[in-house]
Each structure stands twice: as structure tokens, then as C-alpha cells.
Structure 1
């Protein structure tokens, strides 16, 4: 199963972010199944015509987000991202709820702030 990544050099989006977002999307949509072995940083960088540091940055971000996992010398694989992402989102939401309550925000005001933050975050992604 080959990766289907396309880097637009004319895009305002940084190349590492293009790699990150495409891999995250493909993992989330199941196009890259859990356990799929990703190419090495150098191999993917060469294939895409990017610097190795660019791909390494994308991989580090994806690993921090729980989308991929590095298994030492065995390589880098697509993680069970849905579970990890859902757990992290639930934890972040609980922390936000505690903070909003501590600040004295009512349910509607806290919810409106969260909805607006999500709207702004997704609008930036295009």
C-alpha cells in the first residue's frame, strides 16, 4: 500500500504541515490502517523531494499527537490513533470544563467559547 502524499511548493502551508496533515487524515480515515509501516524519514524525504528534517518534524508531531508510533529499530507505524486521540481530547475537554467553572463561566458561555475556538482552529486548516 503506497502512501499518497502531494506537496505543493507554492502553498502557504509549510511542507512539514502538509506531510503531517495528509498522514493524519489518511490514518484517521482508515486509508492507512493501524500497524501500517511508514517509510523511514530519509526515504520519505527523498521521495517527496524534501529535507529529512522536514519529514522528521512531521513525524515528531504525529507521534506527539498519538497518530504514529516509533518502535525503535523496527520502524514507524500508524498507531491506533482514534483511541489515543479520543482519550486526549476527553482529557483536554475535562481540563477546559474545570478551568471554565473556576473562572465562573456558565455552561452556555463556556460552550460558546469552546465552539468558537474550534471554529477558528478548523478555519485555519482550510
Structure 2
């Protein structure tokens, strides 16, 4: 995709703000809107010059993926511990709704982390 299209896709991340309606309506379907924050990565990817894809670019992509994988391990561990602790205090129905929100936030943070790390590696 072109830089302009990637930049415009970044504005889809504003749909993630719809997820804040959960706190007023307590409807768990709003929690899935937090996944739209993954489009924030397009603001950073659009700034990368991809006209010449050389070896250094592919090394930076691998390094950014490895960094995002490390973040994923930490997030999954935290997610597991939160669900383990909260299962002692909340019934399964409430825990399922909270899990949907946590999965959406983890997804958005991983994609955004990858985009930011790739941008930082390309700018050095």
C-alpha cells in the first residue's frame, strides 16, 4: 500500500474510542472495539520509506517481530494471571466479558508495538 493509504488507515484507530461506551452501558460487545487501536501502527508504517527494500529492511522486520514476540509473551503471562486471580472473585460470565476486552487490548498493543519498533529501527 502507498504511504497515503497507510496514513489514512491510521484514522480507523479512532473507532477504538467506541469501546469506552462499555463503562456507561456495561454491554460487553463494546469491548471488542478496543482492537481498532491496532490501526495506530499505520501512522508509523506510513513514515517508512519502502521504495528500496534491501537486506537491512528485512533484518529490521525480523528484529521488530522478535521484539513484538517478547512483548506477546509478557502480555499472555499477565493475561493468564489476571484471569486466574479474577476467576476467584467473579463468576464465569463476567470473566468472559473482561477477557474479550483484554484480548482486544493485547492485539492492539502487539500490532502497534511492531509498527513503532520497525519505525525506530528504520530511522536509526
TM-score, with length taken from structure 2: 0.33
More strand by share: 1
